[in-house]
Amino acid sequence: MAEVDQAFTDDELTELALAADPEARVADGAVPMGELLGSEGWTGAVELLPGWYMPPPMGSRLLHGWRRRIVLLIVASFLLINAYGLCSTYGEVGFG
State the SS3 of 34-49: HHHHCCECCCCCECCC
Domains identified in the chain, total number: 1
pLDDT at 88 over 90: no
Q: Which domain holds residue 72?
A: 66-95
DSSP tally for the chain: helices H, then strands E: 3, 2
pLDDT number for residue 84: 83
pLDDT at 15 over 90: yes
Residue 88 lies in a domain: yes
Pick the closest to residue 37 from 26, 14, 53 (CA basis). Answer: 53
pLDDT number for residue 83: 85
The mean pLDDT value for 33-50 works out to 61
pLDDT at 72 over 90: yes
Predicted TM-score (pTM) of the model is: 0.36
Q: Distances in Å between the alpha carbon of 7 and those of 3, 12, 13, 17, 49?
A: 11, 10, 10, 15, 21
Residue 91 lies in a domain: yes
Residue 57 lies in a domain: no
Residue 55 lies in a domain: no
Residue 9 lies in a domain: no
